[in-house]
């Protein structure tokens, strides 16, 4: 604020409001649109400089600024002062604090700086570094990931078609050790695979992984509690890391990643600008070479390089990699329909019928489909790529549906033979009258259900009457039994000439009506 005339005018107004108007720091902050902490800092500087109010008339802006903001102490190692570059590097080690470093400094220099002055001078040194270097990242704590804004063209040798490859970047927080690779898309499978290869390149996993709010990784952005994509969350559990997305409109949260993107564009992508690539493999091979060169390039303001700092700081602090590779699976959420099936990749898989109407999570992997309810896996199926068809497990069906499946054509024929000759003939007549065997067996099951009410002898007698009268409707057979007609003597019906007329519906019409009235569910279960 004090580096311009406008800034000095605002500073003088701050002093006036404080000393003459007696306003509180909060009121001054609202009036001048600056933070209360800045006001407190300037008032403290004013007091330390030994100035009084009103200011002397001969004190111009330059002199006032010099008193309030004295020249910074040179940051070179002199007798009695710490090596601030060494302090900055040591702070990256896990558990190391300014208080610890000051204790060590005082052990060597008993007459040296006090703790407050020590912290103040280090803060001044830190502000002279680049923005991307200001934050102190603990070794092995964070990996920053992002995609470069720039893409790389890849040409198909046969067709000449040019396709743009995406450039994924991962940067370790403490050492700035950088990994880059090319993939075709920014979709979830490529996003996850790139993360896995980055950790393999680093030789371990960090405690935190910090992405930008890319849709592949973050389902719903939120400043404090974002929704992480379930697959991304599953990957994090596998590698023992935690996802901590950068907050929206908080550039410091992702400064390391953005700095890595900038460095990659300057020292990697810019180098490749005049080269032609004909495959993703060619591009990635070249990226590996340039990453090695970048990581071994010396720092400008600090000793060492990304590679040397990686070996000194990050590599010893990384978590070991898992012994098994990550199994990729995409997650979705569905409500179970009345047919106790859920859809995954245009195929339908059964779940326990007790979950009808419940919300379940579905994980689709390369070979399997798993269904979870309330965090517990309730079933799994081998993945089937046949679109529109169903995979049904018998144990998922209601008891009634399981019993229905028990009635195979062979069992139906065996029951008819057990009931008697007339019943067997009646079943054959039903099958001959129906246009499809499945529809006929469904009608035969209706006859079998009559055994719950009537003995087999009466059913056999009813079938004899139905056979003589040419009746094949189960409803008519049930009516014969209900009215006791099976107990009456039967004589063959007299032959009558059939009346043909265009307005008279024949037997074929009513047979079709019987078929249309059957539930679709029965045919689906048999299939």
Are residues 40 and 29 in contact, defined by beta-carbon separation less than 8 angstroms? no
Question: For residue 278, what pLDDT is reported?
Answer: 93
Q: What share of the chain is helix, strand, coil (3-state, %, to 5)?
A: 45, 15, 40
| 457 and 499 together in one domain | yes
Are residues 10 and 32 in contact, defined by beta-carbon separation less than 8 angstroms? yes
Of 344, 364, 397, the position where a domain reaches its end is: 397
Run means of pLDDT, 10 residues per run, the chain, 527 residues = 56 82 80 81 85 82 80 52 84 78 86 88 78 62 88 90 93 90 92 94 92 59 51 88 70 58 79 88 93 89 87 92 89 86 89 88 88 87 87 77 60 80 86 78 82 88 88 87 84 57 55 43 40
| 334 and 241 together in one domain | no
For residue 114 the two structure tokens come to 């006090």
CATH number at 168 reads 3.30.420.10
CATH number at 28 reads 1.10.10
- Cα 2 to Cα 243: distance, rounded to the nearest angstrom: 40
Three-state DSSP class for residue 379: strand
Range of the domain at 359: 329-397
Helix (H) or strand (E) holding 165: strand 162-172
Is 323 inside any structural domain? no
| 173 and 252 together in one domain | yes
- Cα 416 to Cα 247: distance, rounded to the nearest angstrom: 73
| 212 and 182 together in one domain | yes
- C-alpha separations of 485 from 424, 458, 474 in Å: 20, 10, 15
Instruction: Report which DSSP code applies to 153.
Output: E
Is 147 inside any structural domain? yes
Question: For residue 402, what pLDDT is reported?
Answer: 58
Task: Show Cβ contacts of residue 355 under 8 Å, excluding neighbours closer than 6 positions.
Answer: 336, 340, 373, 378
CA 180 to chain centre: 22
| 231 and 351 together in one domain | no
| 47 and 121 together in one domain | no
- Cα 175 to Cα 23: distance, rounded to the nearest angstrom: 47
Is 133 inside any structural domain? no
Is 40 inside any structural domain? yes
| 340 and 484 together in one domain | no
| 296 and 278 together in one domain | yes
Is 77 inside any structural domain? no
| 311 and 345 together in one domain | no
Of 337, 369, 397, the position where a domain reaches its end is: 397
Of 340, 368, 397, the position where a domain reaches its end is: 397
- Cα 126 to Cα 105: distance, rounded to the nearest angstrom: 18
Question: For residue 408, what pLDDT is reported?
Answer: 64
Give how many domains the chain has, as a whole number.
Answer: 5
Are residues 478 and 449 in contact, defined by beta-carbon separation less than 8 angstroms? no
Is 73 inside any structural domain? no
Task: Show Cβ contacts of residue 392 under 8 Å, excluding neighbours closer than 6 positions.
Answer: 341, 350
Question: For residue 149, what pLDDT is reported?
Answer: 82
Number of C-beta neighbours around residue 260 at 10 A: 26
| 184 and 292 together in one domain | yes
Is 236 inside any structural domain? yes
Are residues 172 and 314 in contact, defined by beta-carbon separation less than 8 angstroms? yes
Are residues 152 and 272 in contact, defined by beta-carbon separation less than 8 angstroms? yes
CA 472 to chain centre: 58
| 160 and 302 together in one domain | yes
| 102 and 240 together in one domain | no
Question: For residue 190, what pLDDT is reported?
Answer: 92
């Amino acid at each position: 604020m004090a580096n311009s005339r406008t800034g000095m005018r605002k500073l003088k107004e701050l002093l006036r409001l404080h000393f003459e108007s007696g306003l509180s720091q909060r009121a001054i902050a609202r009036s001048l649109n600056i933070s209360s902490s800045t006001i407190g800092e300037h008032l403290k500087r004013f007091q330390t400089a030994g100035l009084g109010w009103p200011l002397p008339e001969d004190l111009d802006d330059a002199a006032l600024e010099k008193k309030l903001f004295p020249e910074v102490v040179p940051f070179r190692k002199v007798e009695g002062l710490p090596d601030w570059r060494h302090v900055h590097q040591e702070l990256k080690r896990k558990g190391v604090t300014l208080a610890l470093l000051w204790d060590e400094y005082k052990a060597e220099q008993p007459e040296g700086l006090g703790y407050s002055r020590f912290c103040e001078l280090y803060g001044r040194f830190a502000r002279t570094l680049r923005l991307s270097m200001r934050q102190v990242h603990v070794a092995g704590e964070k990996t920053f990931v992002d995609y470069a804004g720039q893409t790389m063209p890849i040409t198909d040798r046969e067709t000449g078609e040019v396709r743009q490859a995406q450039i994924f970047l991962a940067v370790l927080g403490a050492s700035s050790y950088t990994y880059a690779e090319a993939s075709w898309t920014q979709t979830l499978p490529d996003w996850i695979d790139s993360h896995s290869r980055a950790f393999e390149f680093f030789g371990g996993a960090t405690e935190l992984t910090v992405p930008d709010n890319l849709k592949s990784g973050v389902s719903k952005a939120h400043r404090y509690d974002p929704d992480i994509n379930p697959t991304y969350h599953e990957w994090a559990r596998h590698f023992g890391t935690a996802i901590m997305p950068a907050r929206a409109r908080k550039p410091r949260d992702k400064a390391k990643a953005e700095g890595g993107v900038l460095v990659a564009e300057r020292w990697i992508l810019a180098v490749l600008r005049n080269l032609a690539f004909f495959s993703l493999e060619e591009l990635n091979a070249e990226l590996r070479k340039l990453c090695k060169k970048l990581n071994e390039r010396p720092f400008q303001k600090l000793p060492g390089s990304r590679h040397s700092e990686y070996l000194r700081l990050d590599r010893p602090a990384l978590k070991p990699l898992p012994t098994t590779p990550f199994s990729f699976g995409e997650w979705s959420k569905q409500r179970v329909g009345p047919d106790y099936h859920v859809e995954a990749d245009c195929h339908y898989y059964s779940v326990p019928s007790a979950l009808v109407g419940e919300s379940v999570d579905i994980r689709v992997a390369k070979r399997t489909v798993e269904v979870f309810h309330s965090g517990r896996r309730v079933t799994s199926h081998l993945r089937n790529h046949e679109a529109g068809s169903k995979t049904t497990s018998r144990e998922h069906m209601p008891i009634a549906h399981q019993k229905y499946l028990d009635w195979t054509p062979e069992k139906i024929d065996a029951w008819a033979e057990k009931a008697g000759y007339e019943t067997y003939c009646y079943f054959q007549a039903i099958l001959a009258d129906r246009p499809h065997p499945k529809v006929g067996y469904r009608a035969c099951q209706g006859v079998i259900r009559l055994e719950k009410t009537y003995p087999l002898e009466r059913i056999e007698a009813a079938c004899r009457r139905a056979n003589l009268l040419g009746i094949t409707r189960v409803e008519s057979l049930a009516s014969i039994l209900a009215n006791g007609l099976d107990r009456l003597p039967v004589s063959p019906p007299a032959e009558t000439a059939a009346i043909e007329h265009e307005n008279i519906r024949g037997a074929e019409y009513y047979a079709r009506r019987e078929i249309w009235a059957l539930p679709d569910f029965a045919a689906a279960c048999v299939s």
